[in-house]
Amino acid sequence: MLHNFGSGPAKLHKSVYEQLAQSLIDYEQTGLSILEVYHRTPLFEAILEEATQLCKELYQLDASKEVLFMPNGATWHFNLIAQNFIHNKAAYIHSGNWSKKAYDIALEYGKADIVASSENNHFKSIPVIEQDLSAYDYLHITSNNTDVGTQFHSYPNSSIPLIADMSSDIFSKPIDSNAFACIYAGAQKNIGIAGASLVIIDKDFLSKTHKHIPNYYQYNQWVNNKSIMNTPPIFAIYAMLVNMRWMKAMGGLEHMHAQAKEKAKLLYQTLDNSHLFEVYARKEDRSLMNVCFSMKETSLHNSFMHFAKEAGIIQIEGYRTVGGFRVSLYNAIELASVQHLCDVIAAFDHIPR
């Protein structure tokens, strides 16, 4: 049996795969594959409507929020956020590789500043803002850092619009959506498969959109066209719908959060009790989604990789600029797989050397 802890495209639950597989042959007994459903028919309108309503239900969104299903991943939104909303200058919190990419792209469209950074301690913690932000158009954060294994467990109490890239921890816990002007996420970790993205955006914030950029790049135009500016990634959006159905059936985001805490606690305790492994992030900022760690003796790295692979554990290589190991604990990862990994870590820890 394989235990895939990859950081994305990530594992989905078996029941989700089964429904997606059936839809490829015959979608809802229509005689059509989901791949040939036309996007301007009641069939796709029903998919989009249900997906929108499930997102609103899972996050308890009120009428002030719009939900968009868009193509591409989060990197596209690094561009769109800056294009749409930088008027004077934007503020970015730098907590790892992806926050830096978002900031660098923002500089292509206007002025932006890094207002807090944990670069001086190699991103082992979440940085804290210590300056007035009133001169900025918005504050951007990366809620979970897949490369270093840190996560915002509380969000900045911002006096300006707060925007979050939640690609790797969306749908993993309940949040106060009213704290955010915009949330965006690539689908391929906790939502569905690669090829689509989800945006939750405040209606009032939409009014701040630049009007001089092309329509295709304006979020308000995507709202006006109900997420259909061109042929959408229909199968990817359908995968998001089926996965949200599964999350709701499992007990919603409260259940996802409880499971995430249980899985992470088990793995972190195993690593902390080991004499061979060490966790990268400081304890109070450790991610529940991506556990990053390394060998205290780097010479044992390849030995453990081989040992883990022999035990059916795959895709635990660390991010390329960080090294070590990375175990992703997204919603569909079962507790039994985490327990198996912990048993393998403990067994490797006790091999006589």
Structure tokens at 16: 């989700």
Beta bridge partners of 196: 71
Block residue for tokens 């992806």: 98
Cα–Cα–Cα angle for 273, 277, 278, nearest 5°?
90
Q: What residues act catalytically?
A: 98, 165, 189
Q: Report which DSSP code applies to 20.
A: H
Q: Which phi and psi angles does 181 have, rounded to 5°?
A: -80, -30
Please choose, from the candidates 262, 256, 320, 330, the residue with its C-alpha nearest in 3D space to the C-alpha of residue 290: 330
Structure tokens at 245: 């159905």
Distance between CA atoms of residues 346 and 192, nearest Å: 32
CA 203 to chain centre: 23
Instruction: Please count the other Cβ atoms lying within 10 Å of the Cβ belonging to residue 130.
Output: 7
Structure tokens at 178: 């009213």
List C-alpha distances in Å: 275 to 71, 99, 218, 272, 350.
Answer: 45, 32, 52, 8, 9
List C-alpha distances in Å: 155 to 15, 142, 196.
Answer: 33, 10, 25
| DSSP assignments along 273-295, one per residue | T-SSEEESS-GGGB-SSEEEEEE
| DSSP assignments along 34-72, one per residue | GGG--TTSHHHHHHHHHHHHHHHHHHT--TTEEEEEEES
